[in-house]
Structure 1
Amino acid sequence: MPAPVSVPRTPDTEGGAALHRLVLASLDDDQAVDTISIPLAGKSSIADHMVIASGRSTRQVASMATKLAEKIKAETGQTARIEGLPTADWVLIDAGDVIIHLFRPEVRSFYNLERMWAFGDTPAGAA
């Protein structure tokens, strides 16, 4: 049996950009706090964008995640994969070209994903 062949991901710039705009608009509509977008094209093959946002409570985080998954399904026909919804401290949504992390503020500051994924974006020595 031949070994599986890894095919490099090619960015779907048109679809990926539309999905990215949809995610940002949905989070804005749901009053997400401190929304940031980290471009991953050229840094990682998992996605073109990573969006990180906070909700004020577990209820808001769960609501934002559910609504976002529904909007992605309605607009693109894709089913987004969701992890962490029962507790809603940190919810990960894999929408293909866009990865979304939704946090409660305390959990977000603990994991500090922005700093981890901002490699190469800040000068050495800046913290």
Structure 2
Amino acid sequence: MTNVSSDAESIKSTVVSIIDQNKGHDIVTFDVQNKTVIAKYMIIASGDSSRHVKALAEHVIKSLKQYKIDVEGMSEGNWVILSFQDIMVHIFRPEVREYYNIEELWS
């Protein structure tokens, strides 16, 4: 039997690494399993532009294509949400991230 928690932990590390390698920045992770049922981990990161935000999301999707990933916001590229395997990934343009300030909800 696989340990679901360590799988999520491993995927979380992979996502952070992919975003970091592709010049995403201000990456933060939250363990939210005791705060919500929608995910175990929340990853929040920034890209420099709409194009960069979309590219970061595409790198994550391509690298984790074995999972079914729900994607929201890809067409605009201001705030892309990826949801899969108990993980939610939010990738923002910096000014959009600052405006919504979702870190405050989870910290």
TM-score category, normalised to shorter length? over 0.9
1:113-124 alignment, distance < 5 Å: 113-118=102-107
Q: Which amino acid aligns with 2:35?
A: K
2:4 maps to which residue? 12
Residue 18 of structure 1, CA deviation? 1.1
* TM-score w.r.t. length of structure 1: 0.79
Which runs of structure 1 show a deviation greater than 2 angstroms over 4 or more consecutive aligned residues? none
Instruction: Give the Cα separation in 1 of the matches to 2:35 and 2:75.
Output: 31
Task: Say whether the 8 Å CA contact 1:35–1:52 is kept in structure 2.
Answer: yes
The one-letter amino acid of 1:68's match is V
TM-score by length of 2: 0.93
- Matched residue type, 1:35: I
**Percent of residue pairs bearing the same amino acid type:** 30
Match of 2:52 in 1: 60
Give the drift of 1:49. 0.5
Question: Is 2:88 the partner of 1:99?
Answer: yes
Does structure 2 conserve the Cα–Cα contact (< 8 Å) formed by 1:19 and 1:97? Answer: no
Give 3-state SS (helix, strand or coil) of 2:64's partner.
helix
Q: Root-mean-square deviation (CA), in Å? A: 1.1
- Tell me the amino acid that sits aligned with residue 22 of structure 2: D
Q: Aligned equivalents of 2:7 and 2:59: distance in 1?
A: 20
Q: How does 1:32-43 map to 2 (within 5 A)?
A: 32-43=24-35
5+ residue gaps in structure 2?
none
SS of residue matched to 1:99: strand
- The offset of 1:27, in angstroms, is 0.6
Q: Which runs of 5+ in 1 are unaligned?
A: 1-10, 119-127
Superposed displacement of residue 96, structure 1: 2.4
